Chains A and B, each alone.
Chain A
């Protein structure tokens, strides 16, 4: 522990965005400290260990993957801004993914990191829609998705102006919503564009060892740049005076001061910390309503041995329309996302030590948080089975000598309750508030937001959010002007 109590910049939360902001600021000589309540870094993209196994929390795949030589992409910007060599992330590309709709996944669109595959799938399955699809893609490419002032426009509206088949419309929305939308039923078109580029025009990749590789790189950069961090010590109060954040009170009761504060913990979560002379309208951002459960199954062999070796990610839906909203029951198993982390192109002789199957479905946080402990455990067991049963309809029938059920060596499951407990996000809202704040400004003039509620999505988006906010509110402001 160090005794310094005054910083140029304090960052609340050591997730991807907070670490990225910290690296920029420390690199350019600012005295920075990151305060993190949890005992591990990563936030919504961390990892944890049980019985000697390590599990990633958020990361199915890193989206926004672009290959070396492709210029101007979010990944390239991020690597430059953080002075990270591409090799350090050791990214391995996906094998291939699918969107499977219908009770048995009868209608299918495959996609890979080559956009031509999706385009040709749409042309084959939806021949009448391909011109509209191409027009939509042109609109996506032409849209300025990094503008900080774009007005909100319904993505459903824009998509329907190009595509008239509701099945194709829903199939395109399903992956984009599941991988980043805090908004029920519709998305802002700007967010749709970010996600469309991240998933379809760019693509999926992953380090062999998962998210911890990325976190390790970020931590090493931050440390080398001279950044400080304190774990197991969050910020519990921001004292407002005269329109500014005057001081911060830490969980251990000590007070620190800083010229700038960047909070990555979410907009409503940050607003709740403000006390003292609270500005009018200072607590205004609605929390998100969307949360998820995820089941994790560990096998003693590769999923390929059951005939599940081709799919990296499968986005599924069994109903006529795809419903992306907070469910009536604890979990909605009609739709979901299957991830097989073994199915990335790790290269010859490289593979994960065990087989993994992860399935994510929408969940209703209020119902999970209200359960007494014993019923909570029972609900987890019940829904674990229901989620598996639903997802298995969209995977090939198992072949091979050993059935998947007989190869299971461990399982785990997280719920909205787990998310709130470990990340502090209200209502387990992984994607934060539906109201995004691109400027990151708050009611206090030296307190800014980064991360989920600033509105760049995915883990590359999270890091770019931290970078952009550190640049905009601290580094650019303090670069000499005449």
Chain B
């Protein structure tokens, strides 16, 4: 998986959680919270959807890694690739 594909995975999840948000101009380097109305309930849902859909575990101590799309890609892409390598 490339980092761009990983960003798309995260965007797809946000689109399902918050269909009322406009995701067409999300800046990858800017914190998601600063450009979208996402609260702690929504971030918990992103974590739980990653686990449900993709088997990716994000421990609570790493939640800050999900702050922006760029940081999501840095943090999650290796996890996706490690998972793909195993199967």
Contact among B20, B41, B57 with A81 in the assembled complex (CB-CB below 8 Å): B41
Docked pose: A72 CA to B21 CA in angstroms: 11
Closest CB in chain A relative to B81 CB, distance in Å: 20
B20 touches A480 (CB 8 A): no
Q: Does A85 lie at the interface of the complex (its beta carbon under 8 Å from any beta carbon of B)?
A: yes
When distances are taken between beta carbons in the complex, the residues of chain B under 8 Å from A250 are none
B52 touches A77 (CB 8 A): no
Q: Does A76 lie at the interface of the complex (its beta carbon under 8 Å from any beta carbon of B)?
A: yes
Q: Bits for A463-482, please: 1 = Cβ < 8 Å to B, else 0.
A: 00000000100011001111
Closest CB in chain B relative to A478 CB, distance in Å: 10
Closest CB in chain B relative to A481 CB, distance in Å: 5
Q: Does A83 lie at the interface of the complex (its beta carbon under 8 Å from any beta carbon of B)?
A: yes
Q: Does A29 lie at the interface of the complex (its beta carbon under 8 Å from any beta carbon of B)?
A: yes
Q: Given the known inter-chain contacts A76-B20, A79-B20, A81-B41, please indicate yes or no for A479 contacting B61, CB distance below 8 A.
A: no
Q: How many A-B residue pairs have CB under 8 A?
A: 47
A77 touches B61 (CB 8 A): no
A481 touches B59 (CB 8 A): yes
Residues facing B in A27-67 (CB within 8 A) are 28-29
Residues facing B in A69-100 (CB within 8 A) are 69, 71-72, 76-77, 79-81, 83, 85-86
Q: Does B60 lie at the interface of the complex (its beta carbon under 8 Å from any beta carbon of A)?
A: yes
B41 touches A77 (CB 8 A): yes
A81 touches B47 (CB 8 A): no
A29 touches B52 (CB 8 A): yes
**A28, A29, A480, A482 pick with most chain B CB within 10 angstroms:** A480
When distances are taken between beta carbons in the complex, the residues of chain B under 8 Å from A471 are 41, 44
Q: Does A281 lie at the interface of the complex (its beta carbon under 8 Å from any beta carbon of B)?
A: no
Docked pose: A482 CA to B60 CA in angstroms: 7
B20 touches A482 (CB 8 A): no
Count of A residues near B, CB < 8 Å? Answer: 21
Closest CB in chain B relative to A76 CB, distance in Å: 7
Q: Does A68 lie at the interface of the complex (its beta carbon under 8 Å from any beta carbon of B)?
A: yes
Give the dominant DSSP class at A's interface: loop
Closest CB in chain B relative to A111 CB, distance in Å: 26
Closest CB in chain B relative to A464 CB, distance in Å: 10
A482 touches B61 (CB 8 A): yes
CB nearest to B63 among chain A residues: A479
CB nearest to B48 among chain A residues: A28
Residues facing B in A426-482 (CB within 8 A) are 471, 475-476, 479-482
Closest CB in chain A relative to B13 CB, distance in Å: 11
Closest CB in chain B relative to A8 CB, distance in Å: 14
Docked pose: A72 CA to B39 CA in angstroms: 9
Q: Does B67 lie at the interface of the complex (its beta carbon under 8 Å from any beta carbon of A)?
A: no
Residues facing A in B43-87 (CB within 8 A) are 44-45, 47-48, 51-52, 57-62
Docked pose: A79 CA to B41 CA in angstroms: 12
Contact among B19, B37, B58 with A85 in the assembled complex (CB-CB below 8 Å): B19
Closest CB in chain A relative to B27 CB, distance in Å: 19
Contact among A28, A68, A80, A482 with B42 in the assembled complex (CB-CB below 8 Å): A80
When distances are taken between beta carbons in the complex, the residues of chain A under 8 Å from B42 are 80
Docked pose: A79 CA to B59 CA in angstroms: 26
A481 touches B41 (CB 8 A): no
B-to-A contact residues, CB < 8 Å:
16-20, 37, 39, 41-42, 44-45, 47-48, 51-52, 57-62
A-B contact pairs, 12 of them (CB 8 A): A28-B48, A77-B39, A80-B17, A80-B18, A80-B19, A80-B20, A81-B45, A480-B51, A480-B59, A480-B60, A481-B59, A482-B60
The 10 closest A-B pairs by CB, nearest first: A482-B59, A482-B61, A71-B37, A481-B60, A480-B59, A480-B57, A28-B48, A80-B18, A80-B17, A481-B59
A-to-B contact residues, CB < 8 Å:
28-29, 68-69, 71-72, 76-77, 79-81, 83, 85-86, 471, 475-476, 479-482
**New A-B pairs, 16, CB < 8 Å, besides A81-B45, A475-B44:** A28-B52, A71-B37, A72-B39, A76-B20, A80-B17, A80-B18, A80-B41, A80-B45, A83-B16, A471-B44, A475-B48, A476-B44, A479-B47, A479-B48, A480-B58, A481-B59
